[in-house]
């Protein structure tokens, strides 16, 4: 079993819908990362969080350390949000330790 599990694996939505992607992990962590990989292949870091909640535009990430769970929410989804969203955890506060990745959630938003 992977140390970082994501659900769902695939997600389709209509433009405008509210989207939630979940991530659960089984190891002690110092931080959790949400990454976005576009169809072209490039990977962008969306959030790094170790507690609470962060918001960038229409994206919101939350983490519950006790439950070892994080969620990524997209409000008012748009076709340009179509991408693979990857959850990863790091185990060293100085970020020189490795990231352990989830298997990703493929999101397709249709107009």
Partner 1 sequence: DTAVSQTPKYLVTQMGNDKSIKCEQNLGHDTMYWYKQDSKKFLKIMFSYNNKELIINETVPNRFSPKSPDKAHLNLHINSLELGDSAVYFCASSQWDEQFFGPGTRLTVL
C-alpha to C-alpha distance for 8 and 67, rounded to whole angstroms: 18
Residues comprising the chain, all counted: 111
Q: Which is nearer to partner 1, 44 or 76 (CB)?
A: 44
Binding residue for partner 1, selected from 45, 51, 64, 108, defined by CB under 8 A: 45
Closest CA to 20 of 91, 98, 95, 107: 107
- Please state whether beta strands 10-14 and 105-110 pair in parallel, antiparallel, or not at all (unpaired): parallel
Inter-CA distances, 19 with 54, 78, 107, Å: 16, 10, 9
Query: Looking at beta carbons only, is 78 or 98 nearer to partner 1?
Result: 98
Residue choice 19, 62, 83, 104 for contact with partner 1 (CB under 8 A): 104
Rounded to a whole number of angstroms, the minimum distance from the CB of residue 64 to partner 1 is: 20
Task: Give the interface segment with partner 1, choosing from 11-19, 32-40, 58-66, 67-75 (CB under 8 A).
Answer: 32-40
**Residue 96, interface with partner 1 (CB under 8 A)?**
yes
* Residues making contact with partner 1 (CB under 8 A): 31, 33, 35, 37, 41-45, 48, 84, 86, 88, 94-101, 103-104
């Amino acid at each position: 079993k992977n140390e970082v599990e994501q659900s769902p694996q695939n997600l389709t939505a209509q433009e405008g819908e509210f989207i939630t992607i979940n991530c659960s992990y089984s190891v002690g962590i110092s931080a959790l990362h949400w990454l976005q990989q576009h169809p072209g292949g490039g990977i962008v870091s969306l959030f790094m969080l170790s507690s609470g909640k962060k918001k960038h535009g229409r994206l919101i990430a939350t983490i519950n350390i006790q439950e070892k769970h994080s969620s990524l929410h997209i409000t008012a989804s748009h076709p340009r949000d179509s991408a693979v969203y990857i959850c990863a955890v790091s185990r060293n506060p100085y970020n020189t330790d490795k990231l352990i990745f989830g298997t990703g959630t493929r999101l397709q938003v249709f107009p």
